[in-house]
Structures are given as C-alpha cells and as structure tokens.
Amino acid sequence: MPHADRNLAPAVHADRGLIQERASTMQDRLIVGLDVPTLKEAEKAVRELDGVVSFYKIGYQLAFAGGLDFARELASGGTRIFLDMKLLDIDNTVAKGVEAIARMGMTMLTLHAYPKTMKAAVEAARGSDLCLLGVTVLTSMDEQDVIDAGYEYDPHTLVLRRSEQALHAGMGGIVCSAEEAEAVRRIVGPNLAVVTPGIRPKGSDHGDQKRVVTPAQAIRNGSSHLVVGRPIVGAADRRAVAEAILDEMRSA
Ligand code: C5P
C-alpha cells in the first residue's frame, strides 16, 4: 500500500493542508452543484443559500452560460469554487488549461484520473493554491456501463486503481462514489480530499445516479466533501434542504 505522502509535489501538498484546515466544519464540507441553465438562476440559488452554503461546484451547464465570470466573482468574494471541468486531452493542452484555471482563484478542479493527464496537470498547478481532483469512475456508471466503455475492470477495481495512480501523480484528491470512499481512503491516506457526488437523502429521487449514498453514510465512509446538486438546487425550499443535509452530516 503506498504511503500517503510519497511523490507529492510541495505545492500540492501545501494546498491539501489548506483544504483540510478549511474543511474543519460541516459547512466547509458541503459543495452545492450549481447545475442550473442561466446565470440568473445561479445568482438566485446563491442568494437563497447565503449563510448556509459557502462552497459551490460549477460544471458544464453553467460554465457555458456565463458561469466562469460568475465563478471568478464568487471566488474574489471568498466563496470557494470547485470547477468541474473533467479535463482530458493531450498533456500540453491539459497543462495550459490548468495554468489558466489556477490563475482564476478556483479552489478545486477535476480531471479524469489518467496517469499521464494527472502528471501534466500537477506540474502545471505547482506553486498555485488549486486542489486537483482525479475523477475515477462517474457515479452514473454501473458495471455494464464500464464494460460497454471497454474496460476490463469492474467499477470498484477501476476506482481503486485510479486512486492509487492519483496518489502517485501527486493529486490533491479523488472524486468517487461515497460507496467507495472507505476503500479509497485506505489507499490515499488521511490527507487527500475524497469528494463524493451521488448523494441522496432518504426518499429523494436518484435521477441518473446509480451508486448513491445518504449524507450521513458518506461522512461515515470517510468523504471529506459531499457534492449535492439536484436534491438542493431542484428543491422548492433550497435553504431548508441544505440545512437538513448539514444536520444529517453533523449527526454522523
Ligand atoms: O444532481 P446531483 O446531486 O446528481 O449532482 C452531482 C454533480 O456531481 C453533477 O454536477 C455531476 O456532474 C457531478 N459528478 C458526478 N459524478 C462524478 C463526478 C461529478 O455526479 N463522478
């Protein structure tokens, strides 16, 4: 089993310390996925969640609807932003993208956990505060989806293999299902962020997510951060749902 601190670039290591330190309250550990179609909707959601949520994830949908400037604006006011770009390209293109994103003041950035891609990204982020997260296997994929994508591993094995590769590449954390968080934590050690989407409070709609876990169980499984999108953003009373999820996380 690899040692948690082996092969870590100093800048990424320092940043991981920062992430851990900042993530000392449950509020710091809840990341709300701003998966909404317009800037107006995003601004409304952030207003409604003011004081309850302080960490947002911006992905494809909002990024291509003016969300990148909004991300910069929120970050400059002290709100933490996880830019979910799931980068994958040739090393040089990924490196140039990471350098540009590092200058935007983002807290977290995702890329697919391919060893060469991760190494290029870690090199490019060196000296910045950006925490790089490796996406292992999407939480919307089950065993058949992974076979259809041409992999010879089952999702669990693939997640563990990619977690080990992320650790060796010097990444700041892993994105995986909270079902796998316990096993991933054993591989990556206590310092890396283990960020888990696919969170569903009891009784809520699963949507396209297949490997889902409740907020309390995700915390018990060793997640450092929970990503919650539709259960909060799609709710009539977003603030009440976010508060209920935070209560459930605290109860764990
Ligand atoms: O709405 P929901 O809670 O399912 O949102 C989860 C968010 O996390 C989505 O924005 C999705 O793109 C993202 N995500 C995921 N699985 C991953 C990585 C990111 O669901 N492995």
The three-state (H, E, C) secondary structure of 4-66, written as one string:
CCCCCCHHHHHHHHHHHHHCCCHHHHEEEECCCCCHHHHHHHHHHCCCCCCEEEECHHHHHHH
Give the SS3 label for residue 119: helix
139 in contact with ligand 1, CB cutoff 6 A = yes
169 pLDDT tier (thresholds 50, 70, 90): very high
170 in contact with ligand 1, CB cutoff 6 A = no
- Segment 197-206 shows an average pLDDT of 87
Residues forming beta bridges with residue 108, ordered by sequence position: 82, 131
**Residue the block writes with tokens 């919307």:** 140
22 pLDDT tier (thresholds 50, 70, 90): low
What is the overall mean pLDDT for the chain?
90
Q: How many CB atoms lie within 10 A of CB 74?
A: 23
Residue 4 has pLDDT above 60, yes or no: no
Residues 133, 171 contacting (CB under 8 angstroms): yes
198 vs 16, which has greater pLDDT? 198
Residue 3 pLDDT: 33
Distance 54 CA to ligand 1 centre (A): 18
CA-closest residue to ligand 1 atom 11: 197
33 in contact with ligand 1, CB cutoff 6 A = yes
CA-closest residue to ligand 1 atom 14: 197
Assess whether 86 carries a catalytic annotation.
Answer: yes
- Segment 162-179 shows an average pLDDT of 96
20 pLDDT tier (thresholds 50, 70, 90): low
Distance 66 CA to ligand 1 centre (A): 20
CA 126 → CA 95, 175, 184, 193, distances in Å? 11, 20, 24, 17
Distance 12 CA to ligand 1 centre (A): 24
Catalytic residue of the set 40, 44, 57, 86: 86
Residue 239 tokens read as: 């603030």
155 in contact with ligand 1, CB cutoff 6 A = no
Q: Is the dihedral of CA 63, 67, 69, 71 positive or negative?
A: negative
125 pLDDT tier (thresholds 50, 70, 90): very high
- Segment 155-159 shows an average pLDDT of 93
15 in contact with ligand 1, CB cutoff 6 A = no
- Segment 162-178 shows an average pLDDT of 96
- Segment 25-42 shows an average pLDDT of 96
pLDDT (tens digit per residue) in 38-54: 999 999 999 999 999 99
206 pLDDT tier (thresholds 50, 70, 90): confident
Give the SS3 label for residue 84: strand
- Segment 154-178 shows an average pLDDT of 95
Q: Which fold has domain 13-251?
A: TIM Barrel (3.20.20)
